[in-house]
Amino acid sequence: MNCALCSDQKGGALPCNKVRTGKKSSRCPDDKIMVTRKYWQQNGNGGQGLCQSLTSKFALTGLGTTTWRFPGIGKKTLVLTKTLVTHPHKASRRVGIVIFKRRRLVTHTCSGKRPRFCKKGVTVADVHKVGYCVKCDYDVFPSSNAGNAEAKHRESFVNRCLPKA
């Protein structure tokens, strides 16, 4: 079980379905980011669920969002969701990446039973992260230097290249 992956996904335990307002996590599931070109997050403390576009300022800049009030897991648990769409430094001008991470920063003591690498008595937190590297059929970025990638290039990567991936 992954406590940072939405419970409507295989192996997930984070109760995203308990967020009562806004978009349901099933509208933009964690395992379909590349298909929907969206990711799910809870907006702020006690806020609504959102299907955030990969062309949002959050994804284009790697800005994370957090909440201390995620339904069903208590008020001492921080959930951080962060996505980044960019160009890897020194890669071909045709290559872009999508990186997604959700961290459930509730610490708990490991029982030593699951997962196997978790040693009994150790304090741990849970994370779900995935990354995709995509080569497009055109030069998306102006150079191999990641610093030259602007929002318009990242948006082109999401809107013109990812649908073909």
What are the tens digits of pLDDT across the range 53-64?
999 999 999 999
Residue found under tokens 């920063």? 105
Sheet holding 123-135, edge to edge: 65-67, 78-86, 95-109, 123-135
pLDDT digits 0-9 by tens, 1-28: 788 899 988 888 899 988 888 899 999 9
pLDDT digits 0-9 by tens, 72-96: 887 778 899 999 999 999 999 999 9
Whether the pLDDT of residue 106 is over 70: the answer is no
The separation between CA 76 and the C-alpha centre of its own chain, rounded to angstroms, equals 21
The one-letter amino acid code at 104 reads R
Rounded CA-CA distance 110/106 in Å is 12
Whether the pLDDT of residue 140 is over 80: the answer is yes
Residue 52 pLDDT class (50, 70, 90 cuts): very high
